[in-house]
Amino acid sequence: MSEWSVAEPRKLTFDAPVTALHVRIVNGTVNVVGTDESSARLEVSEIEGPPLVVTHKDGALTVAYEDLPWKGFLKWLDSKGWRRSAVVSLAVPASTRVEVGVVGANAMVSGIDGGSDVKGVTGDTTLVGVSGPVRATTVSGSVEAQGVSGELKLNSVSGDLTVIEGTCPVVKADSVSGSIILDLNPISGPTDARLTNVSGEIAIRLPHPADAEVEANTASGAVSNAFDDLRVSGQWGAKKITGRLGGGTGRVKATTVSGSIALLRRPPAEDEPWDAPPADRSAGGDTTVSSDRSSNGTTAGPTEQKGL
């Protein structure tokens, strides 16, 4: 086992295989990026308070405080522990299994296909382009998942849960008072989505054409439905939206007690290729933007980690 104590800004490179990553910090920021390289890199650009302990053993890379265990993480509220902060960035092989725990810190995980598990107390969590089993749990911080595939499970107490351009076969989201927003990508296959809330609102945007059995219930909240094939029942108190869209291959079930429920339809135009130029523009029209985008395929975005 190799071990380092990091008490000041520092960069480390790990040539030995990394198959699992465990990060636990208080305050600050954690950025984890999956790459196609075999090595892993760590940069601690800012640190205050006690040192971070970095260990590498049997393929598992850990960056954490000694007094901050993963078990019971969401209940860790030691007042002395708040007097610390770190900004940590890691580049690891995309196949790495990632676990990140943050107290009062923001976490961003992108490009990981080995599965991700993020726990947060008050910090916000962002998941971009991750696949495999993905789980995010938060107390009051928000969770945003963009372009996520694989099974997705989200839990919060008061934090908002947002899924954008999701291509997940399974989505489970539970909240007490935070809102739940689910936007499914048109290219995704059948999705089994189960959303539960108490007082927070639920909004679901389905592809057009949609393919799902739908059941949405609210005990006292308002309902909104953009699909003619779905039936809205109940006028006072409890309301329900039910029905089948398309072949009913997928399943969408949403339940809230006092929050509102909205079923939205993605406009058909969004399924068409964006910014398609007319044929006669090739002679003299300016197509610089379209050409640049197609040649790169991607943009710098959050996966760019300078200094790693």
**89-148 pLDDT per residue, tens:** 999 999 999 999 998 899 999 999 999 999 998 889 999 999 999 999 999 999 999 999
Helix (H, G, I), strand (E, B) or coil at 279: helix
**Would you say residue 73 has pLDDT above 90?**
no
Label residue 71 by pLDDT band (50, 70, 90): low
Partners of 53 in the β-ladder: 5, 64
Name the residue among 179, 182, 246 with its Cα closest to residue 214. 246
Tokens for 242? 């039910």
Q: Which residues contact 296 (CB under 8 A, 6 or more apart)?
A: none
Rounded Cα–Cα distance for residues 103 and 68 (Å): 10
Alpha-carbon torsion angle 117, 123, 128, 130, nearest 10: 0
Q: Which residues contact 207 (CB under 8 A, 6 or more apart)?
A: 184, 185, 186, 188, 266, 271
What DSSP state is assigned to residue 79?
Answer: G
Q: Name residue 267's amino acid.
A: P
Total residues belonging to the chain: 308
Rounded Cα–Cα distance for residues 12 and 58 (Å): 17
**Interval 266-277 mean pLDDT:** 54
Label residue 185 by pLDDT band (50, 70, 90): confident
**Would you say residue 276 has pLDDT above 80?**
no
Burial class (CB within 10 angstroms; exposed 0-12, middle 13-18, buried 19+) of 156: buried
**Would you say residue 302 has pLDDT above 60?**
no
**Would you say residue 74 has pLDDT above 60?**
no
**Would you say residue 76 has pLDDT above 90?**
no
More confident call, 288 vs 123: 123
Q: Which of 166-170, 173-177, 207-211 has the highest mean pLDDT?
A: 173-177
- The 10 Å Cβ neighbour count of residue 268 is 11
Q: What average pLDDT is seen over the chain?
A: 85
Q: Name residue 85's amino acid.
A: S
Q: What is the pLDDT of residues 219-233, one digit of tens each?
A: 999 999 999 999 999
b/e per residue 2-39 (b: at least 16 CB within 10 A):
eeeebeeeeebebeeebebbbbbbbbbbbbbbbbeeee
Please, are residues 68 and 22 in contact by the beta-carbon 8 Å criterion? no
Long-range contacts of 235-242 (CB under 8 A, 24+ apart): 240/215, 240/216, 241/214, 241/215, 241/216, 241/217, 242/214, 242/215, 242/216
**Would you say residue 64 has pLDDT above 60?**
yes
20 half-sphere exposure, CB direction, 13 A CA radius: 10
**Interval 262-290 mean pLDDT:** 53
**Would you say residue 42 has pLDDT above 70?**
yes
Long-range contacts of 238-245 (CB under 8 A, 24+ apart): 240/215, 240/216, 241/214, 241/215, 241/216, 241/217, 242/214, 242/215, 242/216, 243/213, 243/214, 244/212, 244/213, 244/214, 245/206, 245/209, 245/210, 245/211, 245/212, 245/213, 245/214
The model's pTM is 0.82
Least confident of 33-37, 90-94, 277-281, 300-304: 300-304
Output the pLDDT for position 83: 79
